[in-house]
Amino acid sequence: MKNYQFWFCVGSQDLYGEECLTRVAEHAKVMVEEINASGNLPFPLVLKPVLISAGHIQKTFAEASADDLCAGVITWMHTFSPAKSWIAGLKINTKPLLHLHTQFNEEIPYDTIDMDFMNENQSAHGGREYGHILTRMGLFRKVVAGHWRDPQVISRVASWMRTAVGVVESSKLRVLRIADNMRNVAVTEGDKVEAQVKFGWEVDAWPVNDIVDYVNDVKKADVDALVSEYYQEYEVILDGRGEEDFRRHVAVQAQIELGFERFLKEKNYHAIVTHFDDLGGLQQLPGLAIQRLMQKGYGFGAEGDWKTAAMVRLMKLMTQGVKDAKGTSMLEDYTYNLVPGKEGILQAHMLEICPSLASGKPAIRCLPLSMGSREDPARLVFTSKTGPGVAVSLIDLGTRFRLIIAEVECKKVEKPMPNLPVATAFWTPQPDFTTGVEAWILAGGAHHTAFSYDLSVEQMADWAEQMGIEALIIDRNTNLRQVKQDLMLGQAFYR
Ligand code: MN
């Protein structure tokens, strides 16, 4: 990922004289230096000269748009800044925009305040003028209000920065399909042309055997080295299989990992889909191999699900560098626990869950797969961490996309599941099992999700809004009547 920066642009006007403008610039400098030094933002702020004239504002947005390292523009109205001067610039802006509605001083200086002070520090006034023009122009921006030293405010700016990276990276995302969608499955399908128009995703199909050639080209020594690495890093559970035979099965996955990775790198793809029913010359369904690639940051979708693959990739980028990150993966709603008071959804897949979710050391197991026609695939088995997370499903409704965003609480399953040879997570959706599940079903959410412990509903909702697509949120504030109204409104608004 690039070393992204965020531009900090302060709006003002020349009505209050040079002295005032000098102080505006000084204040902005203090703020940017202090916020950068705090280490609480994932990306640095870059201070730009104070913006006064329409020409200068337009030039600044043009430069921001052309700058590959600029992932977003943060604007602050220190004084009043007549908003007609912003129209031309905002019109050409292509970067995510945040309106930081703050002011330099935290407290009104009761003893000394005079008209000069008030004219110089009138964000309350200028921010409204600026907000008005953005609303009138129908432009999406994030608004964060509060004092700039408040850790809560900085934390919200930091979260938005990650959303902004998800937005700018979206336009560069390339998904490799080495198989079509599973026959007759509806929810993993979608309009790839529209996805490129809306999100910028390039979704390409390649014959599976083109990538199999790369797998076959991997040197034995490289495979052996990677197998040794696996044995170092993971537990090994033989399940009664001979050690040599087990190792040979694991080696098949190591070879797939290396071959796939070289193909992805050479052809510049960031996400991949497979399909258990279309494996060409592959000896096993890629399991362990895909799990490892996901951990390295690649997106993945099973059964040809390119929308989930793209979302997993974006969410991995959005969470890159998060302190004490807990993980991001594709998951699938598989089976329920419906015991009153213990309701939840067991999340799993045939094989391919990212080990970044693992609580403890994953184990390699090699057991038969009930689907497909290849030899027993090696895979990593583990249970996932506990705590809150966000699960999203991007669906194509024929005329538009909808992102369903659900807040979930991951829990430990009551008992071990020794006969289940796949990685699992277990969660209860917010606000409660019944409401969360019914809302998801009504919204048309898929069985595949892109899931992260390290992102919030707000971040994903902002991403959807910036992308211009409908979002349906299921969180602790959700009730079904509201969900139904949201769905109707979405139908009217996003037609
Ligand atoms: Mn599936």
**CA–centroid distance, residue 452 to ligand 1 (Å):** 18
- Helix 306-318 × helix 151-170 angle, to 10°: 140
Quick check: 254 and 230 in contact, CB under 8 A?
A: yes
- Global pTM reads 0.96
Average pLDDT over residues 87-91: 97
The alpha carbon of 448 and the centre of ligand 1 are apart by a number of angstroms equal to 6
Measured in Å, residue 58 CA sits from the centre of ligand 1 at 48
What pLDDT does 196 receive? 98
What is the average pLDDT across 360-387? 92
Residue 372 has pLDDT above 80, yes or no: no
| Ligand 1: centre distance to CA 275 (Å) | 9
Q: Please name the residues in contact with 480: beta carbons below 8 A apart, sequence gap of 6 or more.
A: 435, 438, 439, 442
Q: Token pair of 141, please?
A: 């921006």
Write the CA distances from 318 to 4, 287, 371, 468, integer angstroms.
Answer: 12, 24, 34, 18
How many Å apart are CA 151 and CA 165, to the nearest integer?
21
Per-residue pLDDT, 81: 87
Q: Which residues in the chain are classed under CATH 3.40.50.10940? A: 5-170
The rounded distance, in Å, linking the Cα atoms of 152 and 246 is: 51
Tell me the average pLDDT across 43-62. Answer: 96
- Closest C-alpha among 154, 129, 130, 133 to residue 144: 154
pLDDT for the residue numbered 16: 80
> From ligand 1's centre to the CA of 332, what distance in Å?
6
> DSSP assignment of 431-460, as one string?
S-HHHHHHHHHHHT--SEEEEESS--HHHH
Ligand 1 (single-atom ion) residues, CB below 5 Å: 302-303, 332
Predicted confidence at residue 10, as pLDDT, reads 95
Q: How many Å lie between the centroid of ligand 1 and the Cα of residue 355?
A: 17
Tell me the C-alpha distance between 441 and 122, whole Å. 48
Whether the predicted pLDDT of 324 surpasses 90:
yes
Please state, in angstroms and rounded to a whole number, the distance separating the CA atoms of residues 254 and 377. 11
**Phi, psi values for residue 40, rounded to 5°:** -95, -5
The alpha carbon of 445 and the centre of ligand 1 are apart by a number of angstroms equal to: 14
Peptide bond between residue 421 and the one before it cis (omega within 30 degrees of 0): no
Specify the 3-state DSSP secondary structure of 346: strand
Residue pLDDT, tens place only, 233-272: 999 999 999 999 999 999 999 999 999 999 999 999 999 9
d(C-alpha 167, C-alpha 96), whole Å: 7
Mean pLDDT of 388-413: 97
Pairing outcome for strands 328-337 and 344-348:
antiparallel
For ligand 1, the distance from its centroid to the CA atom of residue 324, given in whole angstroms, is 29
pLDDT at 437: 98
- Tell me the CA–centroid distance for residue 302 and ligand 1, in Å: 5
State in Å: Cα 451 to ligand 1 middle: 14
CA of 248 to the centre of ligand 1 (A): 26
62 CA from centroid of ligand 1 (Å):
44
Rounded mean pLDDT, 158-168: 98
| CATH code for residues 5-170 | 3.40.50.10940
Sign of torsion, CA 428 433 437 439? negative
pLDDT at 177: 97
Dist CA 296 CA 170 (whole Å): 18
CA 362 to ligand 1 centroid distance, Å = 21
Buried/exposed code over 257-283 (b: 16+ C-beta within 10 A; e: otherwise) = bbbbbebbeeeebbbbbbbbebbeebb
Q: Calculate mean pLDDT across residues 398-419.
A: 96
The whole-number average pLDDT for the span 218-234 is 98
pLDDT in tens, 108-147: 999 999 999 998 999 999 999 999 999 999 999 999 999 9
Kindly give the distance from the C-alpha atom of residue 8 to the centroid of ligand 1, in angstroms, as a whole number: 43
- Ligand 1 centroid distance, CA of 201 (Å): 21
Distance 240 CA to ligand 1 centre (A): 28
Residue range 341-360, pLDDT digits in tens? 999 999 999 999 999 999 99
Mean pLDDT of 175-190: 94
Q: CA 34 to CA 27: how far, in whole Å?
A: 11
